[in-house]
Structures are given as C-alpha cells and as structure tokens.
Amino acid sequence: MIGIIIELIISWLLLRFIAGKNLSVLGLKLSPERMKHFTAGFFLAAICCSLYQVMTVTFANNSWVVNDQLTFQSLLKGVWFTLKSVLFEELIFRGALLYLAIEKIGIQKACILSAACFGIYHWFSFNSFSNPFQMGIIFLMTGIFGWMLAFAFAKTKSLYLPISLHLGWNLFNIVVFSAGPLGTQILIKANHHKLEGILSLFVFLFQVLVLPALVYFYLRYSKSKQPPKTVM
C-alpha cells in the first residue's frame, strides 16, 4: 500500500511540474458514467477469463475441483494481493506517464508505447530472459492486453475502466482459477492434461484477442450513445 501512495505522490509531481495539472486528469472522481465503465469492464474481463479457463479444461478432458484447504483468510489475502498489484501496475502504465505521453505524441503512439513497456515489464515479472520464444509470447500477450488498457484510459479519460478490466481478469485468473503467482486458490485442475494442436492455438487466440476486441466495440458503442454537445 505504501508503494501505491508513493506512486500517487510521484504522479502528482510529474503532472504538476511537467503539465501544470493535478491528479484529476486521471479521472479518479467517481461519476455514474465511470461507475458504468467500471462495472462493464469488470464483468467483460471476468466472463472472458472464465470462458478461457473453461476451454482449457473442457477441450483437454480435464475438470475443476474445489480447494477444500483454502481458508477465508487466505482468500482475502489473495484478493488483496490482486487488487494491490492491479492498482500498482495501472498507476505506472496507465497513469500520469500515459497521460503525459498522450499530450506529447498523441493517443495512438502513446498507447503503443505503453503497451510495449507493459510487455517488457512482464519479462521481469515472469523471469523469462533465458527463453526467447517465451519472451516473444509474453510480450505479445501482455502487450495486446496493455494496449487495450491504455486505449480504455485514453478514450474514457479515466482509470476506472482499465482498472476494472485488469482486476476482473486477474481476480478470476489468479484467485478463482489458481492460474497465477499465488498457487492453488479456489479451483484446482483435477489432472495435468494439456491442450495440443489446433485447439491449443484456438484457445490461445481467444485469450489474447477476444477481450480487447470486445472492449474496442464497447467503447465505440458507448461513444455512439453519448448525446451530442450543444454549442452555446
């Protein structure tokens, strides 16, 4: 939590001395529109993650079992860890630095830059430097995910949608389906069967592309529903 507070202070300093702005440009003030984005983002990500995880077991003749060793305290720790990690990453990659980049080089280039940095960052978090192929896969997956989050911030001018998308995916992936750094959480795979061949490629592409595509169309739909601005 201290790290997040330090991030907010550094963000304020960067915005204040580089752009003459404050933290309000990150869209932190809650509004009905931002609450709608948060809800939609969380459920879109949760549903896509759940479908992806279901396919990994269904197509591999596998199943889930409930972890009866999980305590309520461990569950809360898992949720808190996920929330903190999401907020930490969002403030770095979709916070003040992305706002300043958009102001300097425009939305398209700034989102690509943010996505590339997000992909490179995950080389360190996954410790994948000894495997070039794995580095490429990680960069592709997390880079596209990072572009989606950066695009969500740029279009909504708020951190609520990227936070909800990131949180929805990570919470279900890590805590519900035990596919993260915390190990076994709520559900555990019954065996070690893995996908192969064309099904493996299909599920991989689903994981990488479906949520960003849905978010893109959601943002287009939301924009089309906004009332036209009146000229005074």
Residue 94 · residue 114 · CB < 8 Å: yes
Question: Structure pTM?
Answer: 0.92
Which whole number is the average pLDDT over 195-201? Answer: 89
Question: Does a structural domain hold residue 19?
Answer: no
Q: φ, ψ for residue 143 (rounded to 5)?
A: -65, -45
Question: Does a structural domain hold residue 229?
Answer: no
Query: What does the radius of gyration of the chain's CA atoms come to, in whole angstroms?
Result: 19
Question: Does a structural domain hold residue 64?
Answer: yes
**pLDDT tops 90 at residue 126:** no
Q: Which domain holds residue 49?
A: 39-216
Q: Using one digit for the tens of pLDDT, what is the confidence trace for 81-114? A: 999 999 999 999 999 999 999 999 999 999 999 9
Q: What is the mean pLDDT of the chain?
A: 92
Question: Does a structural domain hold residue 188?
Answer: yes
Within 10 A of 25 (CB to CB), how many other CB atoms are there? 18
Q: Using one digit for the tens of pLDDT, what is the confidence trace for 129-145? A: 888 999 999 999 999 99
